Amino acid sequence: MSCKLIMTWDIRPERDQEYFEFVVREFIPGVKRLGFELTDAWATIYGRRPQVMVGASLPTLGRVTRVLQSDDWQRLYDQLMDFVQNYDQKVVETRGGFQF
């Protein structure tokens, strides 16, 4: 069963430029290095929803669990927290189409 990690967050005020540099240079390559396939990236333009939503998948729940418990994930997560707030994540079974 393929699983998807769905992450949402808001960019910290006054950190936009640094955030975008981090995401392009560190976060996306880091997530890929951990084995995830990036499947979704959405930005909220209007409304009261998280500003950013990212989906990344792995082939099994066991692999997702191992990655999320790894030191490499923790380092990447800690770096992301410097730039974002209201972070949330969940793991769901991958289905076709948009998931949130």
Which pLDDT score is estimated for 99? 57
Its domain, for residue 7, covers 3-93
In a domain, 100, yes or no: no
Across residues 32-52, what is the average pLDDT? 92
CA separation for the pair 82, 64 (Å, rounded): 23
Give me the sign of the Cα torsion angle 12, 19, 66, 58: positive
Beta bridge partners of 6: 55, 90
DSSP state of 41: E
In 3D, which of 76, 79, 23, 25 has the Cα closest to residue 51? Answer: 23
**pLDDT at 100 > cutoff 70:** no
Tell me which of 58 and 97 has the higher pLDDT: 58
- How many structural domains is the chain composed of? 1
28-37, 79-88, 89-98, range with the lowest pLDDT? 89-98
* pLDDT tens-digit series, residues 20-39: 999 999 999 999 999 999 99
Mean pLDDT of 83-87: 98
Q: Is residue 29 in some structural domain?
A: yes
Q: pTM of this prediction?
A: 0.89
| CATH number of the domain enclosing 49 | 3.30.70.100
Buried b (16+ CB within 10 A) or exposed e, 64-73: beebeeeeeb
